[in-house]
Amino acid sequence: MPSWQSYIVHPVLRFYVKRRLARAISPQQARAALGTSMPSPPGIVFTPGTLGGIAGEWAEGPGEARGTLLYLHGGGYFTCSPQTYRSITGAYAKRGLRVFAPDYRLAPEHPFPAAIEDALAVYTALLAQNPAASLAIGGDSAGGGLALATLLAARGKALPMPVCALLFSPWTDLAATGASVTTNARRESMLYAPRLGECASHYLAGADPRNPLASPLYADLSGLPPLLIQVSEMEILRDDSIRLAERARVAGVSVDLSVWRNLPHVWQVSQNFLPEARKALDQAAAFAKTALASGGGPA
């Protein structure tokens, strides 16, 4: 049963985020709508760092880490930062993972494939310092799509895979062909469906929206590590997750897909308020630690 908190969060998001996104006529205005940071868990240390020439920050908890998570933040490829997502990276750190969140380049100033180049540089640097069996990758929304694109780019260079990928409401289809983009347009409390194509165009800058590195839904997914995918049934991006899971399974990839009720896009960011966010993060961290303990590898 959905929590009472989940019924409160929707009108708040509709008023403070979705309404502003609907009125935004430029990336700069949309950035103002999405740039709010949520509180991180107490006791987490955030430290600036650089990997592969890409600046970012480490999130570390008080105990010994079980492994390292490369976390790629969301924001439609044009906004937000590691600091915006400290509630998630800090929650992972609290649950026993050492987290690095890169400040990858954003569109429209730096369009596709700049974000992938940065994420791959960070992943390559992590591999130079750690065995692949001690690494996981994750991301939310555009960052979830970017995590998949990073895996595809790494596979293309014959780099070893991390033990798993943790994906929150990943944006996997920039062509926006999923039925939920239309059927959930009114139910969605955060993202404004008519602006989805504009958001994609800022990132693509003329590139094919079905390019597998831009839209991993269209990729050959074979050889990827186990995937954990969490999405809400009322999101416009719901079908990006469901179809990804279907295609990954056909490709022989192990997938743990959970579809949650009555929750907004990337509800995990609200871990200080939503009990479902804490439960989702518990599930994701446990998935990662199980994969790390077993050494992971392709399904």
Q: Which domains does the chain have, with CATH numbers?
A: 4-32+42-294 (3.40.50.1820)
Which of 60, 215, 265, 276 is an active site residue?
265
- Determine the pLDDT at residue 96: 97
Q: What is the dihedral of CA 259, 269, 95, 146, to 10 degrees?
A: 70
Question: At residue 58, does pLDDT exceed 90?
Answer: yes
CA distance 233 to 235: 6
141 is catalytic: yes
pLDDT in tens, 208-261: 999 999 999 999 999 999 999 999 999 999 999 999 999 999 999 999 999 999
* C-alpha atoms less than 13 angstroms from C-alpha of 54 in its C-beta half-sphere: 28
265 is catalytic: yes
CA distance 67 to 130: 9
Which of 60, 188, 235, 276 is an active site residue?
235
73 is catalytic: no
- Determine the pLDDT at residue 40: 92
Task: State CA 98 to chain mean position distance.
Answer: 17
- Determine the pLDDT at residue 299: 38
pLDDT in tens, 171-197: 999 999 999 999 999 999 999 999 999
Place of tokens 């995918």: 229
Which of 6, 87, 134, 141 is an active site residue?
141
pLDDT in tens, 106-117: 999 999 999 999
CA distance 8 to 67: 35
Average per-residue pLDDT in the chain? 95
- Determine the pLDDT at residue 297: 47
**Rounded to whole angstroms, what are the CA distances from 59 to 141, 151, 174?**
20, 22, 30
